[in-house]
Structure 1
Amino acid sequence: MPDPTVVALGSVDPALVRGPPWGQAAFVPHPGPDDLAAAVGAIVRADAVVDRDALDRMPNCRVLARTGVGVGVDLVDVAEATARGMAVVVTPGSGSQAVADGVLGMALHLVKRFGPLNRPVREGQWARRAEIPVGDLSGARIGIIGYDRVGRRVGVLAEASGMRVLAHDRSPRPRTLSTAPI
């Protein structure tokens, strides 16, 4: 009897698929019709639409695992999947650190003016760099709206960079990732 099949619905890097079921299940990153028909599980990315038609193509599926930070299931017909006996699960926290790193990277890009500084360097006009003012993260303030998993991680990174963190969340909760005052 062949190993159970788990398919990707959307782009999933096979190198990132690891854990207890692998070795006991076959992962198919680019499933065809036969793979979908045989699938007992699916890893669902943010842009994958899992409607009645998609569910019809996966008659043996028992679990839809929605990945991502926001973990929304708005493109998954949860009622129909549930009616078919499929569990729809989310992965809270997956990717939170990567998103927080990206936020701080963008802040650094803006404060250090990498875009405007890159132009004169590419054009061989190094001296023009002095005409472009740049800032520092240390001592700057960052406002974080939504102090959830990602927001708290951004706060920790920002504090480590010497920034003052101002955060707001609609549901109050204690700070757990940092001891520095807001």
Structure 2
Amino acid sequence: MREILKSSTGGTNTDLAENVLVTLSQKEPPEGYSRLVKKFPNCTFNFYALEEWDGLWHFGIPDDSPRLSELLRQATVLLVDWTLPNIEQVPNLKIVQLSISGFDRVVKQPLYTDTGITFCTSNGIYSTKIAEHVFLTLLSIRNSFDQLLSQQHSRIWDDIAYPRPKDLSGTTIGILGYGSIGRQVARIASGLGMKIHAYTASPRPTPASRADRGYILPGTGDRNGQLPDAWFSGTDKPSLHTFLSGVDVLVCSLPLTDLTRHMLSTAEFEILGRRKAYVVNVSRGGIIDHDALTKALKAGLLAGASLDVTEPEPLPTDSELWTMRDVVITPHISGTGRGYVARVVDLLEANLERLSAGESMFNVVKRGRGY
């Protein structure tokens, strides 16, 4: 472990008095940290630098530092990724602010399952980069960009061989999970002239029910839910199939839960095949039955697939998906970009402000739903 400690100083007029511990795998406190320290003078802030992230799916903050043990014991608010402490390490903890948006990595950890601690995700901070990735890969497949790039590398100018695809204007994009990512995808799709169909688990019959009450980056997304041309909802297969039947491009941006695991399988790909749709998955690999997807692609039912996430990860080297035409596979990097740690700090600041005002915090995980 490497430790860098900062204590709170400075001031504004807030009565919030919490012991906030920020743990991140970087050597120095993140951008915006000093602003927090000054803004909440009655809070105690500490930063602890964990070792650099060295692998997937690691759990548990090791109890190998007396200083870290004491910081954890004192903490009432903890900023962390998904490397959670054990329950006995944090006897005073009330709130966990995660630096990740996908809660499936946390949902079965004891600190969540066996306590009443409030958990907040970082939904909203990754939406812009992930939406860019959706259209980067979708447009690459539709416009045979691999062929064009190959011709360039071979110094070939051949406009005759170009397949001349149709543009996206007038096509229908179905967004499976209309959260912060889905809403930013819709914003871009609207600019491309696409029709937008949104799918949510619960009905959204009124303007108020369609509003996004989570954390939103300024100038992004669809805060009031005004972009979709049609809304669909449900947790049953008939509702899902009705939604899929009108889709030309399907974007998966919903959380992975027991209800959504393998939500897309043989029957769903057959329905999507009626319009020879494209499938883009930027949520979790477990949403898709990859054996069924492979068969659908081999049978020519789908026009293509973009998979930033797979099941398992990494995708096995013997998977047929690696070499399939019109399939783009990326190593779970759609949300990776510079400046995201600063955005996490901005979100923590917003939640501390709301906590101080007695308001509901952003992105509180609803127990029982798992997101």
Same fold by TM (over 0.5)? yes
State the Cα deviation string for residues 65-124 of structure 1 (Å, max 9, x = none): 2233334432532134x37xx543333433233322322332222222222321111122
What is aligned with 1:7? 23
For the pair 1:64 / 2:84, whether they are aligned, the reply is no
Change (3 A) 1:130 1:60: farther
Of residues 96, 99, 118, the one that matches 2:149 is 118
Q: 2:161 matched to which residue of 1?
A: 131
Gap regions ≥5 residues in structure 1: none
- Does the CA-based 8 Å contact 2:174-2:198 persist in structure 1? yes
Alignment of 1:13-52 (within 5 A): 15=30, 18=33, 21-22=36-37, 25-31=45-51, 33-34=64-65, 36-37=68-69, 38-39=71-72, 40=75, 41-45=77-81, 48-50=82-84
Unaligned runs of 5+ in 2: 8-19, 39-43, 52-61, 211-223, 231-371
Q: Which runs of 4+ in 1 moved over 4 A?
A: 10-20, 56-61
Contact 1:68 1:91 in 2 (8 A): yes
User: CA shift at 1:162, angstroms?
Assistant: 1.1
**Bigger helix fraction:** 1
CA apart distance, 1:160: 0.9
User: Matched residue of 2:128: which SS?
Assistant: helix
Residues 139 and 164, structure 1, Cα contact 8 Å, conserved in 2: yes
What secondary structure is seen at the aligned counterpart in 2 of 1:139? Answer: coil
**Identity of paired residues, percent?**
22
1:88 is paired with a residue whose SS is strand
SS of the counterpart of 2:173?
Answer: strand
TM-score by length of 1: 0.69
Q: 1:156 to 1:12 in 2, by over 3 A?
A: farther
Alignment of structure 1 residues 99-118 onto 2, 5 Å = 99-118=130-149
Alignment check: 8 A CA contact 1:111 1:137 kept:
no
Deviation at 1:159, TM superposition (A): 0.8
2-structure distance, mates of 1:102, 1:61: 40
Paired residues in the alignment total 172
Kindly state the Cα deviation for residue 158 of structure 1 after the two structures are TM-superposed. Answer: 0.2
2:101–2:121 contact (8 Å) kept in structure 1: no
Letter paired with 1:21: L
When normalised by structure 2's length, the TM-score is 0.38
Instruction: Quote the Cα distance in structure 2 between the aligned partners of 1:61 and 1:126.
Output: 67
Q: What is the Cα-based RMSD across aligned positions, in Å?
A: 3.6
State how far apart, in whole Å, the 1-side matches of 2:83 and 2:203 are. Answer: 34
1:68–1:94 contact (8 Å) kept in structure 2? no
Structure 2 contact 173–197 (Cα < 8 Å) conserved: yes
- Counterpart CA distance in 2 for 1:13 and 1:168 is 41
CA contact (8 A) 2:173 2:195 kept: yes
